[in-house]
Chain A
């Protein structure tokens, strides 16, 4: 999954700024970034730096005040209409009145897939996120980590070109989170999609990504981009390699350098 020089970037963000009319909050200022197909790019920064806003602008849920976003060479709006996005939010956002299977099948229903094809796909997805046999359960019968896996299965069910994840593991305990990190990487390997991932955790960003984008406090700017040159196949041991710590330090220095000590302190650090 490597993009050639000629293929359009998976995501191309050019000069994007955002000022919210209500309250006049200046959320983003002059964001430029190109993401190649198959990349896993994390956004990290202090609270309120606009990383979630940026993700929603890429997903065409919010309009930028200035600048433009191209997704696979198309406008973000066209990409949304073409159902190029799989979104995962901080909460799982499952519908309680639907079973796990029906939750995963929701985007497939909207795409007009017939029942047999939907059922087959749901089974594949349940296998992928290791929830085989839970299809008849309702969301409230699952743990937080399982709910999030259902949300990921739903986002992947229709093979979207771009996966947008807004702090999907933020509400989970650390052990669940690390396990889901590994699962997400396995799923990403299997699905081969491009991922934009917002997180508060430095170690999570370094562990998952091919590149980490460090953002400054409001108005959010790109403070620096750290390419993660760890081997692609990552395991639980990756977190103990010296190179992993060097990269974590590099990201933290960038956060500190631009953000100042106070704001950097607000960023949760799992590597203490």
Chain B
């Protein structure tokens, strides 16, 4: 009882703000006669969200699956690359400047080309999401793996620990907080990559296509309802990563 009360007190202010914003939005449109192509009424969006829920959610699940595959592929490759680069410093020194530079490339610019490379269906969207995830995860994980204090390594060496043991017991645990903060960012990037990728074509049952087509046909309520679905899925994705993080940090590899 006290737990739910405390939670209410914690989240209450935020929920009040949300309600105020929605009410203000609704009233502002009526008061200032804002055109519906600029901003539809929240109640109309909610209405569309409910009446078209079947199509919206199946498109959402489709897009979400692209984002998740891209996230897993990109982050997995990034972690593997970070381990290799941290293990063989020479290779890392030669490649890292390019990875850092690549991190600054607007990868979204490749989206139209990705259709030609990876197919117009799921492949190109997964690829864009994966590439978007790759660089931040790589750079952060590598920073974590190499930010170990020299004395920590000296201590392990004084115990005649092997390179692999030093990795397992010192470098990887040190890198975990870095990795997870990168994964949280990557979860957001994966959703962005999947939806923007969809703007450049593909099957009809994806959020990006629904948003694009609805906007072209002046069905703004539908476009906004699709955006709401994307937001819910994106926030859910982020929270899922945060939950895994909490579980992993509680049961750190060396803690069992």
Of the 9-residue stretches A77-85, A208-216, A236-244, which lies at the interface with chain B? A77-85
Q: Closest residue to B176 on the A side, CB-wise? A: A97
Tell me what chain B mostly uses at the interface: helix, strand, loop, or mixed.
helix
Which of the candidate stretches A87-95, A123-131, A139-147 sits at the interface with the other chain? A87-95
* A residues less than 8 Å from B169 (CB atoms): 95, 106, 109
Question: What 8 A-B pairs are tightest by C-beta distance, nearest first?
Answer: A87-B158, A97-B252, A93-B151, A97-B173, A81-B160, A107-B159, A89-B151, A110-B159
Q: Is A64 an interface residue (CB 8 A)?
A: no
Bound-state CA distance A36–B151 (Å) is: 28
Alpha-carbon separation in the docked complex, A165 to B89 (Å): 30
Q: Which of B154, B165, B170, B254 sits near A87, CB closer than 8 Å?
A: B154
Does chain A have a CB within 8 A of B55?
A: no
Q: Give residues in B with beta carbon < 8 Å to A.
A: 149, 151-152, 154-155, 157-161, 165, 169-170, 173, 176, 249, 252, 254-255
Q: Are A98 and B160 in contact (CB under 8 A)?
A: no
Which listed residue, A80, A91, A95, A102, touches B158 by the CB 8 Å rule? A80
A residues 47-91 near B (Cβ < 8 Å) are 56, 59, 61, 80-83, 85-87, 89, 91
Q: Per a CB cutoff under 8 Å, which of B152, B155, B249, B255 touches A102? A: B255
Expressed in whole angstroms, the Cα–Cα distance for A110 and B161 within the complex equals 7
The CA-CA distance from A95 to B176 in the complex, in Å, is 13
Q: Which residues of A approach B to under 8 Å, CB–CB?
A: 56, 59, 61, 80-83, 85-87, 89, 91, 93, 95, 97-99, 102, 106-107, 109-110, 164
13 new A-B contacts, CB < 8 A, other than A80-B157, A80-B160, A89-B154, are A61-B157, A86-B158, A87-B154, A89-B151, A93-B149, A95-B173, A98-B252, A98-B254, A98-B255, A102-B254, A110-B159, A110-B165, A164-B158
What CA separation (Å) do A59 and B158 show in the bound complex?
7
Q: Which residues of A sit under 8 angstroms from B173, Cβ to Cβ?
A: 95, 97
- In the complex formed, the residue of A with least CB distance to B162 is A110
**Can you report 28 A-B residue pairs in the complex whose CB atoms are below 8 A from each other?**
A56-B154, A61-B158, A80-B158, A80-B160, A81-B160, A83-B159, A83-B160, A85-B159, A89-B154, A91-B149, A93-B151, A93-B152, A95-B169, A97-B173, A97-B176, A97-B252, A97-B254, A97-B255, A98-B252, A98-B254, A98-B255, A99-B255, A106-B159, A107-B159, A110-B159, A110-B160, A110-B161, A110-B165
Partner of A95, one of B159, B160, B170: B170
How far does the Cβ of B157 sit from chain A's closest Cβ, in whole Å? 6
Identify A61's interface contact among B149, B154, B161, B252, CB under 8 A. B154
Measured in the bound complex, the distance between the Cα atoms of B250 and A99 in whole Å is: 12
Residues in chain A near residue B249, CB distance under 8 A: 97
Cβ distance A272 to chain B, nearest Cβ, rounded Å: 31
Chain B min CB distance to A97 (Å):
5
A83–B156 alpha-carbon span in the complex (Å): 11
